[in-house]
Structure 1
């Protein structure tokens, strides 16, 4: 391909020069490294930004302004995100994995350039100030945008551009979680569902590059500690089967509630400002009652894995009036059930975030609720951490319709490869139940139904 050298920046000239010295396949692998490193750096920026925004909220909490921070934080986050989209992005509010799939199917894998940075800004504001959503969806869009626009600048063909888009998405997930295997599987399972064997190597290289740069810069260990977990006990298989059915039911409930809340919030008021204020206030009330709904909620998952559910209860509104014991169990179960409401209100009111982290949150809480209930009833002596881990895999598989991602992500996050059998069992059953009730995951439902209607309308009568 011929380039107008005078219009290229110095680093672009260097990449073009390297491309001219390499074969086509070698240049694709070289490009995968660059896209992976770029997406990894984007993930670092996002995690760092959210960290420092959260520090402001925690600083307020240390000065006995915790309740005020919980009330004003989510409200300010959603309203600020709406303002940024309206004035900074001229109303371009496309977000989520569905926007990436739409670009692949309808835009020749061309993602709007501003999504290389706008998703980082809007999601860090929303989640950093307390929005009850995850950062994984925004980083997937950011990584996909980086890969897509890399392909556009260097004039890759449609197939190669789609591959770079998937490389960016894989690297984003890998960098956020320090989980390169899960990044690869997510890209193949959720983005490039019809990928060929030749696409595996570039995606693997991009995922490793993204995870590596994140590990080097942030120096983070695995997200959740697994020290308290025990080896899998095959005598508990019947209970794991029962639990997997529960996770499937909860996944269906999550998807349907999220869909209905989103529809209701969009129809209730067409004015984005009022919708943002109303949603922010409602979210603030939920967080005031259930403090662990604040932000992504990974800290509370860690508490559950360490068996410290009482700490979460002591920080709640109910601890002032009700003693512990069964109240702690009911509080954990109710928090897990309410999370879908908080997340749906956050996103549908104008905030930016996804269902990835919330699905892990709900799975952890349901896993703890189930195992603690069995223990309190004297049915068996279950290790609660093991069910927290299996629950995260089950809900992620049933909500996102990505069972392989659920299995390997949780194994990588926790180091819990000794629990692969129950993780696989719970993930498979949960996914099968969810898929039997709903054809599409909630994140992709609107897009897939719209595309299906277009295909039906195009068919000759």
Structure 2
């Protein structure tokens, strides 16, 4: 019976998809080239926003499940098990359903633009969503933003191929997908526009600017309507600017530059460590996932994207980061909390390298936000505690 119901649902979706495609082909015949491009960028943006919603919902609810297991079922270290399951499942999906390979990282978008005329394979429309949701959603210490941008680019590229648009419009819709994905993930359309223009379309013209803005705004609006504020990385607090703090901002900038160099180099070093040895993919996954599980056992804030812990810091609730750790009895000691946060800064690159190097899928953008927010807290708290 469930099989028959599933087949009925798939048939219904297939019929409606064909009707939608026929509608867009009709719109292309009626509308001008420019008008159809505007309609296309909205369609691509909505598709990207739906992908973001699926990813974010899955990751958020797995985090809530892990929290429930820790607090209410009295299994405080059970969240160390989830990343092992997620990484092994990711490797299984790649081997069995994705021809044993999956291109990771936003660099493939740049390669597609520069060398392939903006053409991305169809499997990138779903491969990144499935694998990154398994890896990051189940606690892998990486981010969803890189898979989201690749998915958005694939939506734009394959849409343009479907409706036989020119290479110029194909690359433009690819950039629209990237802008919509970032706008939807962060509820930040301006960031999506800037990323698409500065990274994807280095020689952007004024005519390309409007479709990218429409796509980024559509993606942000869709995610803002359909996603709750608990899932999005958002801040409501407004702090007045005080020019007396400029020396501290300069200090933070210098320290952040040094830490960013460490983070980037150490992340690559750990990731390449696994590629240096020709291990079976499942063995590599188990070794890396077990090492990651040990880190999460001692430092639970390394679980998943880490956005919940960033919100805790922004709400002046840093002591909650010590929940379910060996240091929980010292939550009231501000120096212990500060030392814990400081150590996590240097461990995040290792955790991310283990996640991706062992076979998981994700990005390094969210970990960089994680490290930056923790570093800002450490600098500010150190200044406060030392007077």
TM-score w.r.t. structure 1 length? 0.77
Residues 130-149 of structure 1: pairs in structure 2 closer than 5 A: 130-149=139-158
> Residue 75 in 1 paired to residue 66 in 2?
no
Q: Does the aligned pair in 2 maintain the 1:173–1:182 contact within 8 Å? A: yes
How far residue 270 of structure 1 moved from its aligned partner, in angstroms, is 3.2
How far residue 198 of structure 1 moved from its aligned partner, in angstroms, is 1.3
> Residue 298 in 1 paired to residue 339 in 2?
no
Q: Which position in structure 1 is the counterpart of 2:8?
A: none
Secondary structure of 1:128's aligned partner: coil
Aligned pair partner of 1:39 in 41, 48, 52: 48
How far residue 17 of structure 1 moved from its aligned partner, in angstroms, is 1.1
Aligned pair partner of 1:256 in 252, 262, 265: 265
Q: Does the aligned pair in 1 maintain the 2:319–2:332 contact within 8 Å? A: no
Q: Does the aligned pair in 1 maintain the 2:76–2:324 contact within 8 Å? A: no
Q: Which position in structure 2 is the counterpart of 1:241?
A: 250
How far residue 49 of structure 1 moved from its aligned partner, in angstroms, is 2.2
State the distance in 2 between where 1:310 and 1:20 align: 61
How far residue 48 of structure 1 moved from its aligned partner, in angstroms, is 1.8
Moved more, 309-318 or 340-349: 309-318
Provide the aligned length of Structure 1 versus Structure 2: 369
Aligned pair partner of 2:277 in 264, 268, 275: 268
Unaligned runs of at least 5 residues, structure 1? 1-7, 379-461
State the distance in 2 between where 1:50 and 1:162 align: 30
State the distance in 2 between where 1:230 and 1:56 align: 33
Residues 3-402 of structure 1: pairs in structure 2 closer than 5 A: 9-61=18-70, 62-67=72-77, 69-220=78-229, 223-227=233-237, 230-320=239-329, 324-378=333-387
> C-alpha offsets along residues 308-352 of structure 1, whole Å, 9 cap, x if unaligned?
112212432233589723221111111112111111110111111
How far residue 46 of structure 1 moved from its aligned partner, in angstroms, is 1.3
Q: Does the aligned pair in 2 maintain the 1:290–1:317 contact within 8 Å? A: no
Secondary structure of 2:141's aligned partner: coil
Q: Does the aligned pair in 1 maintain the 2:319–2:331 contact within 8 Å? A: no
**In 2 relative to 1, CA 322–236 (structure 1 residues): closer, same or farther, beyond 3 Å?**
closer
State the distance in 1 between where 2:228 and 2:324 align: 30
Q: Does the aligned pair in 1 maintain the 2:322–2:331 contact within 8 Å? A: no
The structure, 1 or 2, with the larger RCO (C-alpha pairs under 8 Å, 6+ apart) is 2
Q: Which position in structure 2 is the counterpart of 1:414?
A: none
**In 2 relative to 1, CA 54–12 (structure 1 residues): closer, same or farther, beyond 3 Å?**
same
Secondary structure of 2:385's aligned partner: helix
State the distance in 2 between where 1:254 and 1:234 align: 30
State the distance in 2 between where 1:362 and 1:261 align: 17
Secondary structure of 2:136's aligned partner: helix
State the distance in 2 between where 1:241 and 1:192 align: 31
Secondary structure of 1:296's aligned partner: coil
Cα RMSD (Å) of the superposition? 1.8
Q: Does the aligned pair in 2 maintain the 1:272–1:350 contact within 8 Å? A: yes
Q: Which position in structure 2 is the counterpart of 1:400?
A: none
State the distance in 2 between where 1:19 and 1:56 align: 46
TM-score w.r.t. structure 2 length? 0.91
**In 2 relative to 1, CA 209–226 (structure 1 residues): closer, same or farther, beyond 3 Å?**
closer
